[in-house]
Structure 1
Amino acid sequence: MLYEPKVLVANVRGLNDRARRTGVRSVVNTTGASIVCLQETKLSVVTHAIVIEALGADFDAYFCLSATDTKGGIIVAWTSRVVQLDGAHYGANSVTARVSPVGGGSGWWLTCVYGPQAEADKVAFLEELRDVRRGHPGPWALCGDFNLIYRDEDKNNGNLNHRMMGRFRRFLNDCELKEIYLHGGRYTWSNERETPTLVRLDRVFVTAA
């Protein structure tokens, strides 16, 4: 029987306490996902016990990118009875693997990212993603927290870095990536001030081939 994997993508803003891991697991249990991509884990060390506590016993395999001084961190975990991931490639801000459904079906590449905040690092990050694409031809899904925007409407004020937005747009166009629009609120991040800055940083993009 062929199973089509479901993918959950989430910025968890830290998995370094038990209450947060319990909350993430509650969300995972409602989705039926067989692949989970978590960003901003803030974990410098990831263990199988932490993955099980945060996601459940079905998630018996994972790749991870450790946080640096509790900044960043990525976990890509999956249920091996449904799907297999292999060929892991680690970048400074990304984890890439080939997804192959158990029972047959076409494989594709999955990259989970947590983008940097400094402008110079953002330029290097986009070049990192170009390198990922050059080394992994074929169908590709790119997801996570990019810490970048490419449209004016992705931010609720006029404080925009148009040069960086242009770089991001050129990357998307050059790699022929199309955004999958997600249900929920228009923005995914807030500075939580009285008059907040709201930004859409979390995204999923896919190629046609």
Structure 2
Amino acid sequence: MDHGLKVVVWNVRGLNARARRHAICTLLDTTGASIVCLQETKIELLCSSVVLDTLGFEFDDYTYLPAQGTRGGILLAWKSRAVSISDPLFTNNAISARVATTGGTLWWMTIVYGPQDDMAKIAFLEELREIRADCHGPWMLCGDFNLILRSKDKNTDNVNRRMMGKF
């Protein structure tokens, strides 16, 4: 992977508030990121004016997975002068796409926003296996899985060890 490429991944918990969009835009101005992955947009129909207000004009291309009502939603945006993103694959809980850097490096990235329900989480883990099978070569997986790997990753004692094992 290009070491100069920066990616921002953030569960924004909604893009409906102008103050939240401004905070994201301010952060992106300081990071120098070329790719941004936002989860839990909570927006079903994401228009270009909201994307511009959230990310600024340098992120000149994007794709998104709409929220279901006010739940979920993923936004993948990039600076086309720095990176090319193509062949998007949309599943219930993820966007996957092929990434090509200006240096010619090719890889896949998948951005997820995992479900809350335990039965849906099991289906989600299968979805991830299928996505990986479709994304040949280097692969970056990021986002909010709504799962934990270790009990110390949780801020309460309410831990589902069976689901941790599946993850």
Count residues with an aligned counterpart: 166
Mean alpha-carbon deviation: is it higher for 3-12 or for 78-87?
3-12
- Amino acid of the residue matched to residue 142 of structure 1? L
Which ranges of structure 2 fall in alignment gaps of 5 or more residues? Answer: none
Distance 1:84 1:3, change over 3 A: farther
In structure 2, the partner of 1:137 is 136
Check conservation: 1:36, 1:76, Cα contact below 8 A: yes
**Residue of structure 1 in register with 2:22 after alignment:** 22
Amino acid at match of 1:43: I
Structure 1 unmatched ranges of 5 or more = 169-209
Conserved? CA contact 1:93–1:115, under 8 Å: yes
Compute the displacement of 1:3 (Å). Answer: 8.5
Tell me the distance in 2 between the aligned counterparts of 1:4 and 1:96. 21
Measure how far apart 1:63 and its partner are. Answer: 1.0
Whole-Å separation in 2 of the counterparts to 1:156 and 1:39:
21
Larger relative contact order (CA 8 Å, sep ≥ 6)? 2
- 8 Å CA contact retained: 1:4, 1:101: no
Q: Does 1:114 align with 2:113?
A: yes
TM-score (norm 2): 0.95
Shift of 1:105: 2.5
Correspondence 1:1-209 to 2 at 5 A: 4-102=4-102, 104-168=103-167
Matching residue's letter, 1:14: G
| Large movers: runs of 4+ above 3 Å | none
CA distance in 2, matches of 1:47, 1:156: 35
CA RMSD of aligned residues (A): 1.3
1:152 deviates by 1.6
Q: What CA distance in whole angstroms lies between the structure 1 residues aligned with 2:151 and 2:3?
A: 39
Q: Using a 3 Å threshold, how does the CA distance of structure 1 residues 157 and 22 change in structure 2: closer, same or farther?
A: closer
C-alpha separation in 2, matches of 1:20 and 1:153: 29
TM-score w.r.t. the length of structure 1 is: 0.77
Which amino acid in structure 2 is aligned with residue 88 of structure 1?
Answer: P
CA positional deviation for 1:17: 2.1
Provide Cα deviations, 1:48-74, integer angstroms capped at 9, x if missing partner.
111111001011101100001110000
